[in-house]
Structure 1
Amino acid sequence: MAGALLSTPNRVSLERLVQVAKERGYTAQGEMFSVADMAKLAQETLGCQAELLCGGLGGPNRDGVLQHLITGHPLLIPYDEDFNHEPCQKKGHKAHWAVSAGVLIGVQNVPSPGYIEDSELPGLFHPVPGAPHQPPSFPEESSPGAIFLLSKQGKSWHYQLWDYSQVRDSNLQLTDFSPARAADGRVYVVPAGGVKAGLCGQALLLSPQEGSHQLGLGHLPQLNPAH
């Protein structure tokens, strides 16, 4: 899904992704409990830039994440998946990956030049592709329901709008390996330090390689490293 959003020249099949991940020792069954390994897999197979974000989606990292999404580049987020694919808090027992393809931000005023109003939904504005535009002023982090991520989990048929704070909180509590998986007799690749070290408070910002023909903000520095 992220490769499609990046418009990579060559589509990479799921089978190829799993094959490379197994060859590199990142996975045994298709699981991926390391954001760092996911970054290396994305760079090798999609030919993109993959920036590892540590320290969670909130605080000083929030504006960088929002600016990345406004630019039109995907975000990969590990989180606990509820029965309806939305974020929940199960201490990592339901850990899955989601891709965010955009963001919906509630603002008080009409955005500055560079945005166009949706033809079907009055009050909804989109950045004009290729046109210079200033990102809107982001709501305070304490404002509930002001920011939503347009996200999709692999088993879902449709994109959903998830409250940013719920995604942030789900991502921050990935600490334990699922007891059900631990007891199923199968072998899984879990990084040193477990699920907490591999997933908790981490995400990936994917963008095209510098020098490509696509428009974007380019290379973002690693944000708030935990180590």
Structure 2
Amino acid sequence: MAGTLLAPPSGIPLERLVQMAVDRGYTAQGEMFSVANMGKLAQEALGCQAELLCGGLGGPNRDRVLRHLVSGHPLLIPYDEDFNHEPCQRKGYKAHWAVSTGVLLGTQAVPGLGYSEDPELPGLFHPVPSTARQPPSLPEEGSPGAVYLLSKQGKSWHYQLWDYDQVRDSNLQLTDFSPSRAADGRAYVVPAGGVRAGLCGQALLLSPKDSSC
């Protein structure tokens, strides 16, 4: 997912990524219950920087995440996946990974120079590539419906717009290992401290090695 933004156009084959993770002891079945290990894998496989974000996606981390996305860099997020791939809250029983590659911001003012209005959707503005522009003003935390992440779960064919607060809340409640997985007789790699220590309130900010973001 994120590899298409950070690696050559051909990307990195999924089979190669899984085999690398198995060889390094990060996974047994393709699962990944450690954000730290996912960061190590991303750095090795994609040759990128991977900043581990702790403490959730809210509070002081919110602006950091949004500015990272506005800069054009991807975010990797563990979350509980609902039947339609959107975030839900299942205590970590449905823990999966998603990549966010963009953000939709609801603002009070029309953006300044460096943005163009969509020809088909009045009121929707896009940054103009290779044009100097001021970063958009970020909506205040708690503003309903003001921030959406352009996100994709690994098994989905399509990107979706997810409410930022729903993603934040799903990420913050990843605490328990699924009982059905625990009883299926298969081996899994779970870090010391369990799902809570490995995933809860954590995410990865990925960027090219030569980026200052």
TM-score bracket, shorter-length normalisation: over 0.9
Q: Does 1:41 align with 2:36?
A: no
How far apart, CA to CA, are the structure 2 residues paired with 1:219 and 1:197? Answer: 29
SS in 2 for 1:18: helix
Secondary structure, counterpart of 2:36 in structure 1: helix
- TM alignment of 1:97-108, pairs within 5 A: 97-108=97-108
Alpha-carbon offset, residue 6 of structure 1? 2.2
Contact 2:76 2:203 in 1 (8 A): yes
Using a 3 Å threshold, how does the CA distance of structure 1 residues 84 and 9 change in structure 2: closer, same or farther?
A: closer
- Structure 2: how far apart are the matches of 1:165 and 1:14? 30
In the TM superposition, what whole-angstrom CA distance separates every residue of 1:129-167 from its partner, at most 9, and x where no partner exists? 222221221111111111000001012121110000000
Aligned to 2:201: 201
Q: Distance in 2 between matches of 1:164 and 1:106?
A: 12
Superimposed CA distance per residue, residues 144-201 of structure 1 (whole angstroms, 9 cap, x where no aligned partner): 1110000010121211100000000000000000000000000000000000000000
Structure 1 residue ranges without an equivalent (≥5): 211-217, 221-227
8 A Cα contact 1:8 1:47, kept in partner: no
SS of equivalent residue, structure 1 residue 103? strand
The equivalent of 1:91 in structure 2 is 91
| Residue number in structure 1 paired with 2:133 | 133
> What does residue 26 of structure 1 align with?
26
Query: What are the ranges of 5 or more consecutive residues in structure 2 without an aligned counterpart?
Result: none
> How far apart are the structure 1 equivalents of 2:9 and 2:43?
14
Q: How does 1:153-168 map to 2 (within 5 A)?
A: 153-168=153-168
Tell me if structure 1 keeps the 8 A contact 2:100–2:151: yes
Stretch deviating more after TM superposition (151-160 or 99-108): 151-160
Q: Measure the CA separation in 1 of the matches of 2:82 and 2:203.
A: 19
Letter in 1 for 2:25: G
Q: Which runs of 4+ in 1 moved over 4 A?
A: none
Corresponding letter in the other structure for 2:144: P
Residues 56 and 202 of structure 1 are in contact (CA less than 8 Å); yes or no, is this contact kept in structure 2?
Answer: yes
Residue deviations 1:179-227 (CA, integer Å, cap 9, x gap): 00000000000000000000000001111111xxxxxxx245xxxxxxx
Matched letter for residue 107 of structure 1: T
In 2, Cα distance between the equivalents of 1:195 and 1:101? 25
Q: 5 Å matches for 1:184-199?
A: 184-199=184-199
- What does residue 225 of structure 1 align with? none
Q: Does 1:146 align with 2:150?
A: no
Deviation larger for 103-112 or 119-128: 119-128
Aligned-pair distance for 1:7?
4.4
Q: Percent identity?
A: 79
- The Cα of 1:11 is off from its aligned counterpart by 2.3
Alpha carbons 2:4, 2:10 under 8 Å: kept: no
**Paired residue for 1:8?**
8
TM, length-normalised to structure 1: 0.91
- What amino acid does structure 2 have at the position aligned with 1:59? G
Partner of 2:72: 72
